[in-house]
A and B are shown apart, each in its own frame.
Chain A
Amino acid sequence: MISALIWKDVRINRLPLLVGAFLLVAPYLVVGVAVTHMPLWQEATAASAWAVLLATGGHFSIMCSQPTLAILSGNLIAVERGDRSAEFLGYLPPSRGMVLFSKAVVLAGVFSMVWGLNLLMHATAFWLSPDTDAARDLTSHMPSLARFAGLGMLAAGVGWCASANVDNSGPAVALGLAAPAVLFGLLKATNSAFNMPHDLSFGAVYFTLCPIIAAVCFLIGTISYLRRVEP
Chain B
Amino acid sequence: MIETTDRSPALVVEGLTRRYGAAVAVENLYLTVPRGTVLGLLGPNGAGKSTALRMIIGLLRPTSGTVRVLGLDPFQKPSQVRQQIGYVPETPQIYRWMTVLEVLRFCRALYVGWNDQQAELMLDTFQLPSSRRVRQLSKGMLAKLSLVIALAHEPQLLILDEPLSGLDPLARDEFLDGVLLGLCGGERTVIFSSHQLDEVNRLSDSVAVLHAGRLLTHCPLDELRSAKRVRAVLLDGRLPLQPPREAVWQQVNRREWSLTIYPFSHEILERLQATNPIQRIDVDDLSLDDIFKDLIRGQNLKTPLETVS
Interface residues of A (CB under 8 A from B): 1, 3-5, 7-8, 11-12, 83-88, 90-96, 229-231
Asked if B82 lies at the interface with its beta carbon under 8 angstroms from chain A, I say yes
Q: Which 8 A-B pairs have the closest CB atoms?
A: A4-B109, A84-B93, A229-B61, A93-B82, A87-B93, A88-B93, A91-B87, A95-B79
* Pairs A–B under 8 Å by Cβ, sample size 28: A1-B110, A4-B105, A4-B106, A4-B109, A7-B106, A8-B106, A11-B97, A12-B95, A12-B97, A83-B96, A84-B93, A85-B94, A85-B95, A86-B93, A87-B59, A88-B92, A88-B93, A90-B59, A91-B57, A91-B82, A91-B85, A91-B89, A92-B107, A93-B83, A93-B112, A229-B58, A229-B75, A231-B59
Q: Which of B78, B85, B105 contacts A95 (CB 8 A)?
A: B78
Report whether B106 and A230 are in contact in the complex, using a CB–CB cutoff of 8 Å: no
Interface residues of B (CB under 8 A from A): 57-61, 75, 78-79, 82-83, 85, 87, 89, 92-97, 105-107, 109-112
CA distance A75 to B79 in the complex (A): 25
CA distance A87 to B146 in the complex (A): 13
Which residue of chain A is the closest to B159 with respect to CB atoms?
A91
Report whether A94 and B110 are in contact in the complex, using a CB–CB cutoff of 8 Å: yes
Given A1-B110, A3-B109, A229-B58, A87 and B83 contact (CB-CB distance below 8 Å): no
CA distance A5 to B111 in the complex (A): 12
Given A4-B110, A92-B107, A229 and B94 contact (CB-CB distance below 8 Å): no
Tell me the minimal C-beta distance from A64 to chain B in angstroms: 28
Report whether A92 and B82 are in contact in the complex, using a CB–CB cutoff of 8 Å: yes
Report whether B59 and A94 are in contact in the complex, using a CB–CB cutoff of 8 Å: no
| Interface hub of A1, A7, A83, A90 (most chain B Cβ within 10 A) | A90
Tell me the minimal C-beta distance from B74 to chain A in angstroms: 10
Which residues of A have CB within 8 Å of B83?
A: 93
Which residue of chain A is the closest to B106 with respect to CB atoms?
A4
- B-side binding surface: helix, strand, loop or mixed? loop
Tell me the minimal C-beta distance from B130 to chain A in angstroms: 17
Extra inter-chain contacts (5) besides given A88-B95, A230-B61, CB under 8 Å? A4-B109, A12-B97, A91-B59, A91-B87, A92-B111
Tell me the minimal C-beta distance from A167 to chain B in angstroms: 13
Which residues of A have CB within 8 Å of B58?
A: 229
Which residue of chain B is the closest to A88 with respect to CB atoms?
B93
Which residue of chain A is the closest to B103 with respect to CB atoms?
A88
| Interface hub of A8, A92, A230 (most chain B Cβ within 10 A) | A92
CA distance A96 to B61 in the complex (A): 15
Which residues of B have CB within 8 Å of A7?
A: 106
CA distance A27 to B206 in the complex (A): 68
Which residues of A have CB within 8 Å of B97?
A: 11-12
Report whether B79 and A93 are in contact in the complex, using a CB–CB cutoff of 8 Å: yes
Which residues of A have CB within 8 Å of B61?
A: 229-230
Which residues of A have CB within 8 Å of B105?
A: 4
Tell me the minimal C-beta distance from B143 to chain A in angstroms: 13
Which residues of A have CB within 8 Å of B110?
A: 1, 4-5, 92-94
Report whether B94 and A88 are in contact in the complex, using a CB–CB cutoff of 8 Å: yes
Report whether B60 and A230 are in contact in the complex, using a CB–CB cutoff of 8 Å: yes
Which residues of A have CB within 8 Å of B60?
A: 229-230
Tell me the minimal C-beta distance from B5 to chain A in angstroms: 21
Which residue of chain B is the closest to A231 with respect to CB atoms?
B59
Which residue of chain A is the closest to B86 with respect to CB atoms?
A91
Given A90-B59, A229-B58, A8 and B95 contact (CB-CB distance below 8 Å): yes
Given A88-B93, A95-B78, A230 and B59 contact (CB-CB distance below 8 Å): yes
Given A1-B110, A8-B106, A94 and B79 contact (CB-CB distance below 8 Å): yes
Report whether B107 and A229 are in contact in the complex, using a CB–CB cutoff of 8 Å: no
Tell me the minimal C-beta distance from B203 to chain A in angstroms: 21
Which residues of A have CB within 8 Å of B109?
A: 1, 3-4
Which residue of chain B is the closest to A98 with respect to CB atoms?
B79
Tell me the minimal C-beta distance from B69 to chain A in angstroms: 12
CA distance A12 to B96 in the complex (A): 10
Report whether A229 and B82 are in contact in the complex, using a CB–CB cutoff of 8 Å: no
Which residues of A have CB within 8 Å of B93?
A: 83-88
Which residue of chain B is the closest to A83 with respect to CB atoms?
B96
Tell me the minimal C-beta distance from B188 to chain A in angstroms: 17
Which residues of B have CB within 8 Å of A95?
A: 78-79
Which residue of chain A is the closest to B61 with respect to CB atoms?
A229
CA distance A91 to B159 in the complex (A): 11
CA distance A91 to B54 in the complex (A): 9
Given A92-B82, A230-B59, A85 and B87 contact (CB-CB distance below 8 Å): no
Which residues of B have CB within 8 Å of A91?
A: 57, 59, 82, 85, 87, 89
